[in-house]
Structures are given as C-alpha cells and as structure tokens.
Amino acid sequence: MQALFGFASPANVFSLGRCRPQLAARRKGTAFMPTQTQSSTTVTEQPPRRGVSLAPFRLHRHGDYQSAYKAARKQSSPSMSYFYRVRPAELIDTATPRIGLTVGRVLGNAVKRNRIKRRMREAVRLHLDLLPQSIDVILHPRHFVAEMEFSRLEAEIVTIFHRIASAVHAVSEAQP
C-alpha cells in the first residue's frame, strides 16, 4: 500500500502511539511530557494548557446579531467598532456575556481574516471576566488589527470592555 499511495500502511498509522508519543499525545489532546525511565521515554498525560474556551460565550444565531444591531448604536475605538446590548430578562438563556466577531471580506483573503479572528478571540478570551453578565457584544475589527502588536490589541479590548461595563452600570443605576 505504501508503494501505491506514497504513505504509510494503516498498520503503521495505528501504531503511532508506540513509535511517536508526541503525535499520540497530540491526538488525545494532552500535553507530551517525556520522563526518563530506565529504558525508554514514556508519556505522562497532563491536561492541555489552553484554559477557558470561548465557545459557550459566542453569539451563534443570525437573529442574535440582528437584535444586537437594532438595539445599539455603533461605538468606535481606534482599531475597531463595536455594538452591545443588554439582553432582556425574558431572553436570558444563560447569564453569561456573549461575543460576536465579524470580519468581512474587505479585510483581506481568508488567511488574513482567520488570523484576525484568532487574535481577537484570544484577546477576548483573556479578558472576558471584565464584561457584565447578560450582555451581547459584537466586534468589527479594522484591517490593521492583523499587524497590530498583541499587547496593544489586548489593551484596546480591555478599554472597550471597561467602557461597556461602565455604560451598563450607569444605565442600571439610572433605572429605578
């Protein structure tokens, strides 16, 4: 089979756990930590160092985006624009903040857009605790976010989240 297709036979593919512990650990989603024993190197399984996933905190449905656009005015910062709305009590399915990212084709090809989204997701994930509960936020990055220093991007996300939190707090105090 190797001669026909130019790659290893299925028997070799399934035995990666014995010959390449790094690949086996990567497939299991664990970190590869070699430890020296008397005769060979073994794999110690540890949880991956990824932290909290952003998946439960994302806006998923088109209707959620549309209602956030209707309920909010466009806000701006130096490298992105953003919209936010406080979810009404009858629409609260989870009391967590939800984030939406929109990166249009105007910002570049798919590689550049995906890079922007990855950087934005990571910056948002690191500072998600700054947002109040039950709020929807949509972020529209500008084209230079792809080349911007990550620390500057993080600082801008923190500034935006603080602005949103203070605005929501001011509105909640004004209401009886």
Strands annotated E in the chain: 31-36, 41-46, 75-76, 80-86, 98-101, 135-141
Domain residue ranges of the chain, discontinuous segments joined by + = 2-46, 55-174
Supply the pLDDT for residue 12. Answer: 45
Supply the pLDDT for residue 149. Answer: 95
- pLDDT tens per residue across span 80-90: 999 999 888 77
Supply the pLDDT for residue 44. Answer: 40
Buried b (16+ CB within 10 A) or exposed e, 54-72: beebebeeeebbebbeeeb
Question: What length does the chain have?
Answer: 176
Give the CATH class of 55-174.
alpha beta
Supply the pLDDT for residue 56. Answer: 82
Global pTM value? 0.67
Residue type at 59?
L
Spans of the chain, pLDDT less than 50: 1-2, 4-19, 23, 32-49
